[in-house]
Amino acid sequence: MASVTALLAGPGFAQQQPPPVAVPQVQVVPPVVPVQVIPPPVLSAAQITQLAQLLDDAGFAHGLRHDGSAQPRLEGNDAVVRAALDYARAVHSGRLDASDFQQDWGLRPAAYDPMPAFADAVKRDRIAAWFRALPPPYSGYDGLQKGLAAYRKIEANGGWTTLPAGPDMAVGSSGPRVAALRKRLAVEDSDVVATGDKFDAALKEAVVRAQRRYGLNPTGLVSKGTLGALNVPAGDRVRQIMANMERWRWLPAELPAKRIQVNIAAAVLTVFEGDAPIASMKAVTGRPGNETPMLQSRIHSIVLNPPWNVPAGIAAKELFPKGAAYLARNNYKIIGTGASRRIQQQPGPKSALGLYKFDFDNPYAVYLHDTPSQSKFASFDRLDSHGCVRLEKPGPLAQLLLRNDPAWQPDEIQAALATGKTQRVQLQPQDQVHVYLLYWTAFASANGQMNFRGDPYGWDKTLAAKIERRSAITAVATR
């Protein structure tokens, strides 16, 4: 007898098979899981009183409004519950509505519903503990809250007097402007002797401390830049702190222990491992008009000897007008013709991206990269890019990210670079590091001293105004 296998393989088998039977497709509908709607809790009289007292000054203390005037007293269960839930959402994940975000504010807080935890706290009579746990759990946020209280006090006491323009002040200077400088510095620095009109060595040290706090070149010479920083009104410093507290609320409840952070305003990159900084370097970030966006992502690959695909806007405004000879001299290649033509700068010593490009997914087409031009890193004003982030030490960063890949140790990296050929190196999944581009213009040092940076994009004032406007709207809606 012929084997079954042979029969199945023999000629004519297909013709001998019965016609296929249509099998009805049964659509499996997953069971509908009812959404549990938690009704607003009913507070006891004591809880109403307790929560109203907690809410009385909380929004002001956490920078949800600049106005410190007394707020209308909350009365009744519904009003207190609405105010508590509104405050919880605001201080936990931000005051802004989705419509308030600018396009280049790519950080977005996670959705947050305070009702379940609030209802549980009411049931277990642990409202105070629930209330304390709402703000971001970061020391950086705590430092800003303490700084907010200090600068509110300064503002309430009249702030400081604007220092008049005039010649630069240095050791040996004297007169009314030096006396005014002493008085101004003493407001923020308790080690300064507030009286006297002589610019001595001690005053120079105080100026240096102030310049460090403001991210300026610590020369001890009081010139235009230092005067400008000292003359920012105290009320503007309060709003600056408010804006930075709000940005902390946009971050996840727990930051990855291994991450890279770029402070856009200060133009500094810091590498964290084990939630502690292990390395930092200077950066060059976007100039006003070409802002570096705030965002979070993950570095997934490093491009060695990267070409630069010039964005169409830069090509049209800055490169095509310079002519074909300039493009050829600088290793640019025109790809395509007519309206679809574009420019690509080839890899090499003149490439604007240098030898390294660090890629991460984002809708803004920005990345971290090397640069052949190192002069800007010597400057204290390093906002000079088209939006991407140039790095002072990209080679060591690449070695750090690839250190666990035996195929890409320092010798292998250098050999690949020496070929001049473009090569993408995919990071191993466990080595793909989170990256955060952040806009920190106010932060507290370890000793509690507030530090400020300029607001080059005007985002602080814009954000502070949005916070106050949204707080006013919600205050009316919750009463």
Q: Is 300 a catalytic residue?
A: no
Those residues whose C-beta lies under 8 Å from the C-beta of residue 446, and which sit 6 or more positions away, are none
CA 391 to chain centre: 17
CA distance 182 to 205: 12
Catalytic residue among 62, 92, 369, 434: 369
CA angle 472, 476, 479 (to 5 degrees): 135
CA distance 442 to 241: 6
CA distance 244 to 141: 8
Q: Is 66 a catalytic residue?
A: no
CA distance 92 to 90: 6
- Burial label for 83, CB within 10 Å (0-12, 13-18, 19+), is buried
Do 85 and 91 meet the contact criterion of CB atoms below 8 Å apart? no
Catalytic residue among 66, 92, 386, 388: 388
Exposure string over 257-294, b if 16+ CB within 10 A, otherwise e? ebbbbbbbbbbbbbbbeeeeeeeeebbbbbbeeebbbb
Catalytic residues: 369, 388
